[in-house]
Amino acid sequence: MQAILEHTSFDVQAIRHQFPVLNRMVKGKPLVYFDNAATAQKPKVVIDALTEYYENYNANIHRGIHSLAEEATAAYESTRDTVQQFINAKYREEIIFTRGVTESVNLVAYTYGRTNLKAGDEIIISGMEHHSNIVPWQLIAAQTGALLKVIPVDDNGELIIEEFHKLLSEKTKIVSLVHASNSLGTINPVKEIIDAAHKVGAVVMIDGAQSTVHLDIDVQELDCDFFAISSHKVYGPTGIGVLYGKKELLEAMPPFMGGGEMIKDVTFEKTTWNELPYKFEAGTPSIADTVAFKAALDFVSSVGKATARKHEDELLHYATSQLESMNDIRMIGKAKHKVSVASFVVEGVHPQDLGILLDNQGVAVRTGHHCTQPLMNRFGIPGTTRASFAMYNTKEEIDVMIAALNKAIKLLK
């Protein structure tokens, strides 16, 4: 297992050496991976953790009494403890393992929302939400008669916070909001929103898919009621995520799915539920991925979020200045506070065509609406080209992207 850097220093080349995929070639060119907002690459320690589980103690968890089952259970539950510390949850049983942010939002919508909402109640989301934080609330609103309200976005890609306060009322029961936009990079003022929502008695769900890897997360300080995380955005495996919820809310919520592990007693007449967190973890989970998620969180903590973010901010500022100096490019999303996401359009060029030509030169970016179609409609565009940066990226790679862009634009215009 490779040594992990201490957070007192930051050596990007040493970081890069810990990510095997960065050594590969794409269409004869060295890979430049700028699609980190979609999924981050995995360090060797995470890959090793997956291999170690399958090679040495592959077994189902919680109910077995043999040695492999006990080792697997201990490793699985150790990840829960690590997540609790990573986001400073008060209790370990407030950490529910899900498949990711999408399942976490659906869990809250279908359990808390369906139980507590009634006709005329209001749910507030924002105009920059991912589809996974729009569609579940639309479905629950249709089932319960609740109304969905939307905080508008200004030309810079920031929430018009005054409009949020106007939307708030005693009818507001749930506010569900992205912490950092996957399309724009905008960091939203979630603490202000949480405090205001609580004053009218609403609960707040925060989508932390993009923020958890970049920002220090303290759910007790934020005082959010729910917070969702996807492992694969934080250098961990796909298929595993977290729902944090305040203990008293989770205890009052009905189960999301029925099956093994989430039960206490079952008869044909009646079933009683297991205690937290297992009430919400039906069936055999993604054990190996959960175990390896701990390795990813430990990796991020050892590098240091503040150190990594400083590097990522430098990359964002450099890329933005380079892009803004180019003819025909318009930046989409100019918020004052951003994570390392640079979205742009090239006048007269479809993002998909641009993405294909960049890929031909070894540069991986994301193109399209990024599962935020209402936001793209607000800007009057079909989509953007999005470059998103991680701790292992370099300014030299940005130079490669800019050169590839110039070449692609000349071919397309």
89-110 pLDDT, tens per residue?
999 999 999 999 999 999 999 9
The residue-averaged pLDDT of 200-212 equals 98
Q: How is domain 49-301 classified at the CATH fold level?
A: Aspartate Aminotransferase; domain 2 (3.40.640)
The alpha carbon dihedral of 103, 104, 110, 111 has a sign of positive
Question: Contact at 8 Å (CB) between 88 and 299?
Answer: no
Paired strand residues for 366: 386
* pLDDT at residue 274, rounded to an integer: 76
Q: How far apart are CA 239 and CA 407, in angstroms?
A: 37
* pLDDT at residue 258, rounded to an integer: 77
Q: How far apart are CA 271 and CA 280, in angstroms?
A: 14
Neighbours of 381 (CB within 10 A): 15
Would you kindly state where each structural domain of the chain is located, as residue ranges? 12-43+305-412, 49-301
Q: How is domain 12-43+305-412 classified at the CATH fold level?
A: Aspartate Aminotransferase, domain 1 (3.90.1150)
Q: Please give the single-letter amino acid code of residue 320.
A: T
pLDDT band per the 50, 70, 90 thresholds, residue 272: confident
- Cβ contacts of 163 within 8 Å, gap of 6 or more: 151, 152
Least confident of 42-46, 47-51, 261-265, 344-348: 261-265
Question: What would the two tokens of residue 138 be?
Answer: 């639309």
Q: How far apart are CA 51 and CA 264, in angstroms?
A: 33
* pLDDT at residue 9, rounded to an integer: 66
CB burial string 260-276: b at 16+ within 10 A, e below: ebbbeeeeeeeeebbeb
Q: Is residue 189 pLDDT above 70, yes or no?
A: yes
pLDDT band per the 50, 70, 90 thresholds, residue 3: very low
Q: Is 0.85 surpassed by the pTM of this model? A: yes
For the beta sheet containing 147-151, the strands, ordered from the edge strand earlier in sequence to the opposite edge, are 95-98, 241-245, 226-230, 203-207, 172-178, 122-126, 147-151
Closest CA to 202 of 89, 298, 125: 125
Question: What would the two tokens of residue 373 be?
Answer: 């179609």
pLDDT band per the 50, 70, 90 thresholds, residue 64: confident
Kindly report, residue by residue over 378-398, the tens digit of the pLDDT.
999 999 999 999 999 999 999
* pLDDT at residue 7, rounded to an integer: 42
Q: How far apart are CA 402 and CA 343, in angstroms?
A: 14
The residue-averaged pLDDT of 165-188 equals 98
Question: Which carries the bigger pLDDT value, residue 274 or residue 51?
Answer: 51
Q: What are the catalytic residues? A: 371
Question: What would the two tokens of residue 372 be?
Answer: 């935020």
Q: Is residue 4 pLDDT above 50, yes or no?
A: no
